[in-house]
Structure 1
Amino acid sequence: MPYSNQSGPVRTRRIAPGPAGARSSSKRVPKRASFGSQGGRRAGAAGRTRFASSARSAAVEHVFFVDGIEVRLSRKRVKNLNLRISRDGSHVDVSAPSWVSEDEVRGFVQRKAAWIASHMAQAAQTPMARAAQATPEEVAQWREAISACVPALVAAWEPIMGVKAGKLAYRNMTSRWGSCQPATGRICINVRLALYPPECLEYVVVHELCHLLERGHGPRFHQLMDAFMPDWKQRRAKLR
């Protein structure tokens, strides 16, 4: 089941824009790493990134630069300005209501320039940033490493969980750690997991196998994960 791949020192700041030149208040919004399943968010609402509102998902992106910082602005049905550093530290994503002018957005980015620069530098050191710059040869090495480990992990966990996986696949994905198709049992694993501790790969494998028992990410799914892998939340946190 698809789910989102969010890592690095990314932070979201929500501000209520005030008069031009006035200092705006900000509130940090905790970042979540969600893992989705077939038909679920790529990792979002209720654990997936798919927006519940079609209007929000249809937001148009506008790209511009503020003092060398690349800003990707999307207009959405939100009440405040929301700013987030991209996972690889290459740009900032800003969502804003229609009534906030581009000048106000530019002013906000300028006021937060020091904070943005600091967190962009941190994000640029994460595995996700490294993956964004990877060569085909590096990706091939990741694929080789992951494909050598996953079958053994699946074989070890199948009898414990009482499931049987189908075809195993491996892809270089930017927004999912893995996916599962309950109807066929097909499981796909992100080769970028080669950049993370081994326990993260095992967590993703168990997560996807768990979707063979429960499609969604509701209470039963969490209960199953708690039963099979009590420390799954700690493992998941290492992928952020």
Structure 2
Amino acid sequence: MTLNIDGLEIEVTRKSIKNMYVRVRPPDGRVTISAPYRMPQRQIEDFVRQHRPWVDRQRRKIIDAHREGLARIGALPDASRDPAAGKSAMSGGTGVPSQRQSVEDGERPTDSASIWTEQRRREAAAVIESALPALLSHWGPIIGRTPTHVTLRLMTSRWGSCTPSTGRIRLNLQLGLMEPRFLEYVLVHEMTHLWARGHGAEFQRRMGEYLPNWRRIRRELNRQAIV
């Protein structure tokens, strides 16, 4: 069900839950609500109006992060150089940890298909492919395990993922257009999952041994927009 509350479209899903949850989702600042089956619509509308300032702030953060990400890879002009560039940005995204071992106002301004031209894909892939042999040679002996396959692909909500049972690792192609330390961090993160499936104590202990500053790099990476 979609509600239009004071000009803001919200997707509402009824679930067997006790409380209501509001989320602002990348990449387009879409607002979703999970609400109990018996909660009156009026209560949902009142809740949204009460928390509208928070929702607007979160959407603005996502908008700004996405536009910065587009500018960083050369898909959009930098807002600092073009005052008009920042007026209607609408998307964003961060790497979010999931249980499958992955690293952690209107229209979308630029479609992903137009951002990722064939040339940009080739450039990003070439950077990663040229860096991987040295990275794997360095980190394989340290971590004690190496992936059976490393696949590059465009991802919409994560920087990397791992299937421990097969040893396969997937890396977001966008890492080839970013600072090299981010590629290294994501690779180490996913290789660590070859030992530790979750993000619990063993995973954190190993990451602390391999990359003592891994939490700082993760925070910096997750402030970047996935485009």
1:155 to 128, 137, 145: 137
Query: CA shift at 1:174, angstroms?
Result: 1.9
State whether residues 75 and 98 of structure 1, in contact with CA within 8 Å, keep that contact through their aligned partners in structure 2.
yes
Identity %: 34
- TM-score, normalization by structure 2: 0.67
What is aligned with 2:117? Answer: 137
Unaligned runs of 5+ residues in structure 1 are 1-61
Give CA deviations for 1:2-39 in whole Å, capped at 9, x if unaligned. Answer: xxxxxxxxxxxxxxxxxxxxxxxxxxxxxxxxxxxxxx
Aligned equivalents of 2:132, 2:171: Cα separation in 1: 8
CA distance in 1, matches of 2:162, 2:15: 30
User: Mean alpha-carbon deviation: is it higher for 178-187 or for 165-174?
Assistant: 178-187
Find the residue that maps to 2:45 and give its secondary structure: helix
Instruction: Assess if the C-alpha contact under 8 Å between 1:89 and 1:121 holds in 2.
Output: no
Q: Does 1:215 align with 2:197?
A: yes
Cα RMSD for the two superposed structures:
2.6
User: How do residues 1-240 of structure 1 correspond to structure 2 at under 5 angstroms?
Assistant: 62-127=1-66, 129=91, 133-134=111-112, 135=114, 136-137=116-117, 140=121, 141-194=123-176, 196-238=178-220, 239-240=222-223
Contact 2:29–2:92 (8 Å) recurs in 1: no
Tell me the CA shift for residue 197 of structure 1.
4.1
TM-aligned CA deviation for residue 211 of structure 1: 1.6
SS of residue paired to 1:99: coil
Q: Label 1:80 to 1:184 Cα distance change in 2 as closer, same or farther (>3 A).
A: closer
Deviations 1:178-197 (A, max 9, x none): 22233432211112334654
Q: Secondary structure at the match of 2:64?
A: coil
Q: Structure 1 residues 194, 115: closer, same or farther in 2, change over 3 A?
A: farther
- Amino acid across the alignment from 1:65: N
Greater Cα offset, 217-226 or 204-213:
217-226
Q: How many residues align?
A: 179
Name whichever structure is richer in helix by fraction. 2
Alpha-carbon contact 1:81-1:94 (below 8 Å) kept: yes
Work out which structure has the larger RCO, using CA pairs closer than 8 Å and 6 or more positions apart in sequence.
1
Contact 2:28–2:92, Cα closer than 8 Å, also in 1: no
Q: Is the 8 A contact 1:89 1:122 kept in 2?
A: no
CA contact (8 A) 2:62 2:92 kept: no
Separation (CA, whole Å) in 2 of partners of 1:68 and 1:194? 39
For 1:187, the aligned partner's letter is: I
Normalising by structure 1, we get a TM-score of 0.64
Consecutive unaligned residues of structure 2, counting only runs of 5 or more, are 70-90, 94-109
Could you tell me how far apart the structure 2 residues matched to 1:233 and 1:120 are? 25
Cα 1:162–1:119 change in 2 (3 A) is same
